Chain A
Amino acid sequence: MSWFLELERSLQATAILGVLATLVLVGAAKWSASATTLLGLVATVLAAVPAVCMPTSATFPLLVLLAATLLCVLLVRGDELADARHRAETVALILFGSAGACVLVTADNLLSLLIGFESMSLSVAVLSGIGRGPRALEAAFRFFVLGAIAASMMIYGIGLHAYATGSFQIGATVVTGEGLSTLHTIGHLLLLLGIAFELAIVPLQFGALGVCQAGPIGGVAFAMTVSKVGAAFALQRLVGGDRLLQDVLVALAVTTIVWGTFGALAQRTLRGLLANSAVAQGGFVALAVACGASAHSTTCFYLAVYVAAAALVLAAISGDRDDMELTAIRTRPFGVMRRLALVVGLMSLAGLPPTPGFLAKFLVLARSWETAGVTWTVVAALGGVFGALYYMRPVPDLLAGGASITNASRPTMGVRLAIALAVVVTTVCAVAPHLAMRLAA
């Protein structure tokens, strides 16, 4: 056991997730779906133990990541998969992907970073592919192809970094030589673009967009939360205090916010709206990351709030196999719990008080003003507040409810647990944001 205890916290978490994911896969054929889900939950909780017992700066990111994983596992439903028997495989894939994300969160070596990225990326592709219907398969294929392009950019970037520094370590200094500094910059830029693919940053937003529109809810939750958390902290270390990379990331982030906002405004379905809004949210995460290490706790807070809000929304719509026309949302058989979860989740994503989404966006803008300057901050603020225009579109209908509430089916235990967990996080972040931020700091 001593070798295990000597590992870094993130690697201990990775090891636990990996071992238990393998166990889930081995037992998939024999065990019931509930047993595999339960094992998935146990794996996630166990993975959090090392990080909690011996806190480091990576503890909070790891906890957010594992909370997101827990929510993903809870949201896995057999009836959304091409074959309901694939539920155990879905749980195993989520655990494998999360193991990769744990590596991304703390890796200081570019090769580890690539392995983490690939584990996460391939998991998302397969998670989408085992969904019901041809659109899920198409989205998986698209994600796989674009993921391969992103990975190749990263590999090329790693090569240039290694050539310029003679090392695979993040933060290694450039050895003396003509033009090496430029090569190093290009290398880092390619790495940034590769990782940005997981955050769904423009121009690499297509992969996650497709998965969010067509994948099963478990896969969507993974792409919207776990992938973003992993990628955000990897980017944070990569960008560090490099002014040039910070500027590039600010520009990409704000472009993404505007792009995602306009994309979502054009949507007529809830799935489309959420997919495009996930792009805009990725922009805000990237903006927080671009503010450097000093904005670490702001990034953590934003991600915690975002994961909880996304979980509320996804839990509310889980089990609905269509894209959910916005004009017909009032007549859907949603019960009170799902309606309220959806309303609170959408409000938090929109950044409206009294939900913590407001504070999260506000803090990011406050930070970005120092790093990004007036123009980018003004555009980001406008993108943020106009986001309310699309997020709030279904809310009056959801509150109006009416007869459809009485015909509503009872949400599954997993959905209820996911909503409860997300509500706890949302409430804590709304009432006592200073606690969450102190923990993150």
Chain B
Amino acid sequence: MNSLLPWAFLFTLPGLLLTACGVGRAGLASLLGPIAVFFAGALWLAGDHAPLLVHVADWLPMLGDAAFSLRLDSLSAVMLAVIGAVASCVYVYSLAYMHDDPGQRRFFALLDFFVATMCLLVLAGNLVVLILGWAGVGLASFLLISFWRDKEGTLGAGMQALAANAIGDAALLLAVVLLPWGAGDLTTLHSASLAAVPGGVTTVAAMLVVAAAAKSAQGPLYFWLPSAMAGPTPVSALIHAATMVAAGVYLLCRTHLVLAQAPEVLTVVAWLGVVTALVAAIASLQQTNYKKGLAYSTLSQLGYMFAAVGFGAPFAAFFHLFTHASFKALLFLVAGIVIHATDGEEELGKLGGLRQQLAGPAWLSLVGSLALIGLPVLTAGAFSKDLVLEAGLHQAPMLGYLLLGGVVLTGLYTGRLWFAVFGRTDSHLHAHAPGALLLGPVALLAVGAVVLGWLGNPLGEVLTPALGKAPEVHAWSSLGAIAGGLGVAGFLLAGAWVRAKGSGAALPSFAGSWVDGARDVSAGFARLVASVHDGRVVTCIVFSMLGAGVVTLVTILRS
């Protein structure tokens, strides 16, 4: 039985085939996949914790040691459990959310593919297999973001995700290509032979960071994640909680031994994380769209995780990823309930006053919001954020204090979103009450948002072989109390702000983005190339002869 567990990435494929072939109610057959994935992770964690390896030698004989290698250890098992749990909730929720959508079979088939590729990514035993999952996750997210083709802007949003992923994919491809042995064991990447790489371990570490930043939308590669809100809300929940953006943090945690050999890269990662955490928090306060506000909050929290890796505290980063999965999925699924209940309304200025009509979701959302802020003892977010802040204050005090200040911003943006939607009891909107299929998974995630923090110490023990000795997780600490107090203060301040300015209260936006400039330049160059291919024989001859002449001349000069 145990020998099957490393193949967990195949568990969603029967559901995919049955759903795609039209067997049974759309999505029901698919539901078994993520549940099986969850149990694969849980079974391993309940066992003797011995890593399970699959090694098909000579899979790519041209590449030295490029075997097809799978590895189920503590890190991948916990990830499988997280992916399986969040995905199961999202699947059940989607049964109701996508019920009237004519493309629901395609939707569930794509979800199955998404989960399969994410599982392959976390089960990869070497970089080549990881790239398969890595690129597959990017492809699946593109297809899911572009799912509603009748909705304006979905293809563009999907393309943005694909473009950001392309940068990450290229970096990861180059990392593999640079390695003397092609693939390398994922945990160490054959550390001894890294010296043979031009630029040494720093080059490979930098490539890994670029790849992770693209996947987790950090720094200048942030642009695709807010646009990805064009996709169905359950997809947003999955992307923001357990798949896709989690992949970047997972990669950094998995390769932390390699990163530790490149301290200058770790410093960059810490700065990248802190800057993203703060700038994304401010950007969230500028959004007038409910889901985009949440999207920037994910960016900010991922910044905390990146910063933790940069501080040399991979367990803190992973623990925050673990707790964040529950409350971020919760917040997105509640957003979906609100949007569903108000017939597609996403603008904060037009929402508001839904607390009475959507009492259940409002309270559940409050639990998620407080977990995101990090209310001590009562919520899971406090446990993990406390560890990140501790690591920051210990390793790089200035960055640690910046992150501590960032908690106020977290309270502000979380409070603004909650009060804008649920803040009052009077609403001109008529909201339909959500059914059990929509509320049930959210309630389950709310339980996770409360209790998962208490799993910190056992999780630390389990993850010690993969992430090193974990610090003790405290339910209460003075730092946690200060951070929680700052977060709650921000939350209440946001309530006052929304009461004063109304649901549409937002900071003024920044103008422009580097992405627009890059798109214009590449479009201009593409038009230039197309203009050369004008179909005229004279152009063809002149271009060909001139080109051949230049090539010949340059070669003669070089020979």
Contact = CB atoms under 8 A, between A and B. Distances in A.
Interface of A: 138, 141-142, 145-146, 149, 153, 182, 185-186, 189-190, 193, 202-204, 206-207, 209-210, 244, 247-248, 252, 259, 262-263, 265-267, 276, 297-298, 330, 347, 352-354, 358-359, 362-363, 365-367, 369, 374, 377-378, 381-382, 384-386, 388-389, 392-393, 395-397, 399-400, 402, 433-434, 437-438, 441
A115 B59 CA distance: 40
B60 A433 contact: yes
A189 B552 contact: yes
Contacts of A262: 522, 525-526, 528-529
A244 B530 contact: no
B177 interface: yes
A148 to B, nearest CB: 10
Contacts of B528: 262
Nearest to B530: A266
Contact of A142 (B103, B178, B526, B540): B540
A67 B142 CA distance: 33
Contacts of A190: 552
B102 interface: yes
B501 interface: no
Contact of B177 (A145, A206, A366): A366
Interface of B: 58-63, 102-103, 106, 110, 117, 128, 131-133, 135-136, 139, 142-143, 146-147, 149, 154-155, 158-159, 162-163, 166-167, 169-170, 173-174, 176-178, 182, 198, 522-523, 525-530, 533, 535, 537, 539-541, 543-548, 550-552, 555-556, 558-559
Contacts of A369: 177-178
A210 B166 CA distance: 29
A91 to B, nearest CB: 28
B211 to A, nearest CB: 11
18 contacts: A145-B537, A182-B559, A193-B551, A203-B548, A210-B535, A347-B139, A352-B135, A353-B132, A353-B135, A358-B135, A385-B173, A388-B162, A389-B159, A392-B139, A392-B162, A395-B143, A402-B102, A433-B60
Given A244-B558, A266-B526, A366-B176, A385 B166 contact: yes
A389 B167 CA distance: 11
Interface of B is mostly: helix
Which of A384, A395, A396 has the most chain B CB within a 10 Å cutoff? A396
A415 B552 CA distance: 43
B7 to A, nearest CB: 14
Given A142-B540, A263-B530, A363 B149 contact: no
B169 A385 contact: yes
B533 A209 contact: yes
A176 B147 CA distance: 68
A354 B136 contact: yes
A138 B558 CA distance: 38
Nearest to A379: B170
A131 to B, nearest CB: 15
A177 B359 CA distance: 94
A185 to B, nearest CB: 5
Contacts of A189: 551-552, 555
B173 A362 contact: yes
Nearest to A432: B59
A397 B149 contact: yes
A142 B537 contact: yes
Which of B142, B149, B170, B174 has the most chain A CB within a 10 Å cutoff? B170
A144 B17 CA distance: 48
B545 A186 contact: no
B525 to A, nearest CB: 5
B376 to A, nearest CB: 43
A153 B60 contact: no
Nearest to A368: B177
Contacts of B182: 366
A359 B544 CA distance: 32
A138 to B, nearest CB: 7
A153 to B, nearest CB: 7
A206 B540 contact: yes
Return the 9 tightest CB-CB contacts between A and B, nearest first: A203-B547, A266-B526, A396-B146, A206-B540, A266-B530, A385-B166, A265-B526, A353-B132, A262-B529
B541 A149 contact: yes
A441 B170 CA distance: 28
Contacts of B543: 203, 206
B196 to A, nearest CB: 12
Contacts of A185: 555-556, 559
Nearest to A366: B177
B166 A266 contact: no
Contacts of B559: 182, 185, 244
Contacts of B131: 353, 358, 362
Given A385-B166, A392-B162, A263 B533 contact: yes
B526 A263 contact: yes
A393 B527 contact: no
Which of B146, B159, B525, B540 has the most chain A CB within a 10 Å cutoff? B540
Given A185-B555, A262-B525, A399-B106, A382 B170 contact: yes
